[in-house]
Amino acid sequence: MLHVISVLVENHSGVLSRVVSLFSRRGYNIESLAVGPSEQKDISRITLTVNGDDYVITQIMRQLKKLYEVIKVQDLSAYDNVSRELLMVKVGIDSNTRDNITQIAETFRGKIIDISLNSLIIEITGDSEKINAFINLIKQFEVKELVRTGLISLERGSRTLKEYKEEI
């Protein structure tokens, strides 16, 4: 089962390396990883998407909590949450394909963020299923480059990650 783990960490050099090495030492695969600053400049949020059963996820969370710089760890998949990814794709175009590609992008509420004579760059945000569906449709054209962020996620409602009690 896919789990979305949110980790608040102190914003120091080497923290991400320690988190990732914790996974590699134990042979766990990270499906996606997104890291960025939080609402406080000295705290970063790491969002990990990991496949595993409840036992594996519990072990991962326990090990993460042992790291000195980790402030809070939570499996957001256990709660109602909003998750999004960002996709940017550069597609080769000509006079015959430009309109079709633009129409597909509009259908997915995508934005054309750059255009040249021979290519355009489309930005799509949404859940993983939406991103995958768009990629499957756009593959019929000349995909020159494609980049995709890891999943980011927040729990719905007013509760924040810092408010969680220790659950493990």
Give the pLDDT confidence of 82-124 residue by residue, as tens digits: 999 999 999 999 999 999 999 999 999 999 999 999 999 999 9
Output the pLDDT for position 164: 60
Output the pLDDT for position 162: 73
Please tell me the pTM assigned to this model. 0.83
| Residue 18, token pair as written in the block | 């320690």
Output the pLDDT for position 82: 92
The CATH H-level superfamily of 2-78 is ACT domain (3.30.70.260)
Enter the CATH code of domain 82-152: 3.30.70.1150
The answer to whether the beta carbons of residues 79 and 155 sit under 8 Å apart is yes
As a whole-number percent, the residues of the chain with pLDDT over 70 amount to: 96
Domain boundaries, the chain: 2-78, 82-152
Which is it for the CA torsion 129, 80, 164, 25, positive or negative?
negative
Task: Say if 2-78 and 82-152 have the same CATH topology.
Answer: yes
- Check whether 167 has a pLDDT greater than 60: no
Query: Residue 105: left (phi > 0), alpha (psi -120 to 50), or beta?
Result: alpha
Q: What are the backbone angles phi and psi of residue 43, rounded to the nearest 5°?
A: -130, 135
Output the pLDDT for position 26: 85
For residue 11, the Cα-to-chain-centroid distance in whole angstroms is 19
For residue 20, the Cα-to-chain-centroid distance in whole angstroms is 15
Terminal CA-CA length for the chain: 19
The answer to whether the beta carbons of residues 30 and 49 sit under 8 Å apart is yes
- Check whether 10 has a pLDDT greater than 90: yes
